[in-house]
Amino acid sequence: MNSEVIMDRGRAIENDYIYLGNVAEYVQNENLFRFRCGKTEVLIKVLAEDIIRILMKPNEVPSLDTTQGVIFKDNKEVEINATEFEDKVIINTNKLKMQVNKIPFGVEIYDYEGDLIYKSYDKCFLGWKGKNIACFSEIREEERFYGFGEKAGTLDKRGESLSMWNTDIFDPHNPHTKELYVSIPFFIGLAKGKSYGIFLDNPSRTHFNMGEGQDKYYSFEAEAGKLDYYFIYGPEMKRVVSRYTDITGKMPLPPKWALGYHQSKYSYSTEEEVKELANNFRKKEIPCDVIHLDIHYMDEYRVFTWNLHRFPDPEKMIQDLKEMGFHIVNIVNPGVKKDPEYKYYVEGMLNNYFCKKIDGSAYIGRVWPGESAFPDFTKQETRKWWGKNHKAFTDIGIEGIWNDMNEPAVFRDEQNGGLEDKTMDLDVIHDNDGKPATHRELHNLYGMLVSRSTYEGLKGLLKGKRPFVLTRAGYSGIQRYAAVWTGDNRSFWEHLSMTMPMVMNMGLSGIPFAGPDAGGFMGNSNGELLTRWIQLGVFTPFFRNHNSINQLSQEPWAFGEKYEKIIKEYIRLRYKLMPHLYSIFYEASITGIPVMRPLVLEYQDDPEVYNLNDEFLVGDSILVAPICKPDTKFRVVYLPKGIWYDYWTKEKYVGGKYIMIYAPLDRLPIFIKRGAIIPMAPALNYMGEKEIKELTFEIYADTESRYTLYEDDGETFEYEEGKYSLTYFECKNNEKQIIFKISSQKTDFDTGRERYILKFNDMEKKPEEVKCNEKMLEEVEENQMLNGKNYWYFNGKERVLYVIIKDSKPEADTIIVNDTCAY
């Protein structure tokens, strides 16, 4: 063993790490490789042809146990070919060549084209200093780094240092804030058009130095436990994200109402206030599905209770609101008030459900209810108990819960420490399902396990309905249980701007269902800021307007009719786009690919998008470029390769360049890529308000394009039993003729749809004829309707061909448009 001077966190220091020297012994057992270096063993486990796991704990043989963030099952039958040489071991899979160097110990990973994808740092690979364990890896030329979950700042994290420690940060976060509420120790490296992922499965405080102050190496380090990381090969970024979510889990489909607009405040604190709010939405016909109740609905902040002075009849209130199309989502925090006459505290104490000090007594910390005990969610019995307690809510009609303060946050006096101490004592003991560990080791898991307990409890209680859980804190795998909002932001234009890279990186980190508090939580918003934030919120996966007590109200009508009118139309746009959004959510649930995507995810060979922070894609064909500065009517937009259309004007642009776009207050820059097929529904006041009898498809015909529409009941888990519908759309355009095919791939759910309105955009002239299944369709005047028949008309001013056909499921339909010049 030895040590030397290297660069660390951007400055030269005496590196007192002990790090691995030469390999003394090597053993292979199926897909597991053991390398002994002195008293320390490194385990390399080939989990799949594109996933390799590396583990090390100083002077020990590391356990192969995983955290609860991992669900990936071992595959011992993966095809491996290993050859030992005097100075190295070569491990080949069908996709990768891994070279393990013996003198000193290090690794190099190549793809089958011979390109180097990942390499340990020559001067130091795996090392430790006290309880801290670190890994140093070489930075490739022009390498970029994405992911890391919920982080402030820009999309690309090269040159930054970041920490993972779930923190209740009330002071305004800024681009240099290193720790927020959610810790996802996963990132994607991209260089020369090829990508890979690294997932460090360790829920203690971890640090990532991505080349701050130097460009030779990056490092990641854990303050407790073992070093346990997964290498995931792409080369496409989409493949990396998908495989990472194979390891940590995919998002289940949320109830459709949860994709609608949410209205919240800290707090709507009386039944009268909530009913007045609901009545305003319906009277003004502003769509809304969800009203959130913050902590003031509770009896002295006791969880699972109601303040019956403020809410004298919560069951009737909830039923009345359901009849109006609203769902109520209640906040539930983990702190249980210390009160010997309080049911849940007594049950927790008698059954050892709470976290304990080393002397066996319950840990008590101060949060909203005052002195409180904290359930030990690492213990299965506690998780089941907590989940069943939600019966107090589900029995009166509640189907959604909001988990806050679950980092866990604990109030501290100023003299007791700063922000990093705003959690329970680090020597608190968790049961960890029979493998006790300290809070120092498991801190980042706590928030995820709160939401796991909530989700699993609701799922059992709701008898087939999908629960909705919203969380502030989480760890890798949180997507299996909850949507995430980005915590206590501010009503700053800068926080509006910061929303985009934050939510995009969360999507790249396996969390598709995320979003900010639109309008800002703390501080006073204004009409212009709220309008611009709502425009952005229409396209964030989670869409909630939430602000704090003693701040100006920011409901859609709060700043007057001028702003209300614009906000209303944009919320209506969200609901019109719901068939498309729901299909993208379905894709996310199957593949892990996010709903809101950075352009680099779709265009990883285009250097112009590598750190593009103020634009994003919804799916692969809608580009959104929000306005993030006051008094702004113009902005520059980068359009990647391809042909793009302004959503509002239908003006056509050739991509691969920057353009200047006009964007007054009522216009959010939106662009649609040629080849897109986008289903849209009539605007609703809430999901399920009425049966959708027709869908309109916005079609931008390209040489060849495809689209799959997913539909189910939006409410139950019957889709897991195959009760859903998949409709396949294919469009081919050869300039003279458009061939558009509709076919039902799966029809186990009755959509109730009667017809389609097909809108073929960018048509140079009226077509000569339109056929459906070889039958000539009748041409009609623009405002004419033929009930029960297929027909078409052409709008020359808009250059749009409208084809109206009956939905003939499950039979296929082929629409042929002749002599089109549709380019």
Annotated catalytic residue within 289, 407, 456, 646? 407
Query: Given the structure tokens 């430790």, which residue do they identify?
Result: 128
Share of the chain above pLDDT 90, in %: 91
Asked if residues 43 and 57 have their Cβ atoms less than 8 Å apart, the reply is no
Q: Are residues 698 and 666 in the same domain?
A: no
pLDDT digits over 636-656, tens only? 999 999 999 999 999 999 999
Catalytic residue status for 404: yes
* Domain membership flag for residue 787: yes
pLDDT at 170: 81
pLDDT at 736: 87
Q: For residue 87, what are the domain limits?
A: 5-248
pLDDT digits over 43-53, tens only? 999 999 999 99
Average of pLDDT values for 537-554? Answer: 97
Query: Given the structure tokens 């969610």, which residue do they identify?
Result: 377
pLDDT at 415 over 50: no
Asked if residues 27 and 38 have their Cβ atoms less than 8 Å apart, the reply is no
Q: How many domains does the chain have?
A: 3
Confidence of residue 413 (pLDDT cuts 50, 70, 90): low
Distance CA 182, CA 473 (A): 5
* Domain membership flag for residue 571: no
- Which segments of 175-311 are extended strands (E)? 186-191, 194-200, 206-209, 217-222, 227-233, 262-263, 290-293
pLDDT at 14 over 70: no
Q: In what order do the strands lie in the sheet with 206-209?
A: 18-19, 126-129, 132-138, 217-222, 206-209, 161-164
> What is the 3-state composition of the chain as percent helix, strand, coil, each rounded to the nearest 5?
20, 35, 45
Distance CA 120, CA 253 (A): 39
Average of pLDDT values for 215-235? Answer: 97
* Domain membership flag for residue 757: yes
Mean pLDDT is lowest, of 7-16, 125-134, 293-302, 315-324, for 7-16
Confidence of residue 819 (pLDDT cuts 50, 70, 90): confident
* Domain membership flag for residue 218: yes
pLDDT at 821 over 70: no
Catalytic residue status for 407: yes
Catalytic residue status for 323: no
pLDDT at 629: 97
Confidence of residue 464 (pLDDT cuts 50, 70, 90): very high
pLDDT at 195 over 80: yes
pLDDT at 414: 52
pLDDT at 751 over 50: yes
Q: Which has more confidence, 169 or 530?
A: 530
Q: Are residues 665 and 696 in the same domain?
A: no
Q: Are residues 119 and 12 in the same domain?
A: yes
Distance CA 34, CA 25 (A): 8
- What pTM did the predictor assign? 0.96
Annotated catalytic residue within 201, 431, 488, 712? 488
* Domain membership flag for residue 95: yes
pLDDT digits over 481-501, tens only? 999 999 999 999 999 999 999
pLDDT digits over 29-84, tens only? 999 999 999 999 999 999 999 999 999 999 999 999 999 999 998 777 899 999 99
Confidence of residue 422 (pLDDT cuts 50, 70, 90): confident
Give the residue from 248, 269, 285 where a domain finishes: 248
pLDDT at 584: 98
Q: Are residues 642 and 696 in the same domain?
A: no
Report in angstroms the alpha-carbon separations of 611 from 145, 245, 501, 508, 608.
10, 23, 9, 14, 7
Annotated catalytic residue within 160, 221, 404, 564? 404
pLDDT at 660 over 80: yes
Instruction: Output the domain CATH number for residue 609.
Output: 2.60.40.1180
Mean pLDDT for the chain? Answer: 94
pLDDT at 12: 28
pLDDT at 288 over 60: yes
Q: Are residues 606 and 755 in the same domain?
A: no
* Domain membership flag for residue 684: no
Average of pLDDT values for 448-475? Answer: 98
Stretch (H or E) spanning 533: helix 527-537
* Domain membership flag for residue 101: yes
pLDDT at 820: 58
Q: Are residues 186 and 230 in the same domain?
A: yes
Q: Are residues 63 and 196 in the same domain?
A: yes
Average of pLDDT values for 381-399? Answer: 98
pLDDT at 6: 38
Q: Are residues 747 and 653 in the same domain?
A: no
Give the residue from 248, 280, 296 where a domain finishes: 248
Instruction: Output the domain CATH number for residue 179.
Output: 2.60.40.1760
Closest CA to 106 of 56, 172, 178, 148: 56
pLDDT digits over 300-319, tens only? 999 999 999 999 999 999 99
* Domain membership flag for residue 739: yes
Q: Which has more confidence, 735 or 521?
A: 521
Q: Are residues 667 and 696 in the same domain?
A: no
Closest CA to 669 of 638, 705, 710: 638
Q: Are residues 178 and 101 in the same domain?
A: yes
Q: Are residues 648 and 777 in the same domain?
A: no
Average of pLDDT values for 800-815? Answer: 90
Average of pLDDT values for 247-261? Answer: 98
Average of pLDDT values for 452-472? Answer: 98
DSSP track, 255-294: PGGGGS-EE--TT--SHHHHHHHHHHHHHHT----EEEE-
Q: Are residues 58 and 170 in the same domain?
A: yes
pLDDT at 565 over 70: yes
pLDDT at 686 over 60: yes
Mean pLDDT is lowest, of 160-169, 405-414, 458-467, 667-676, for 405-414
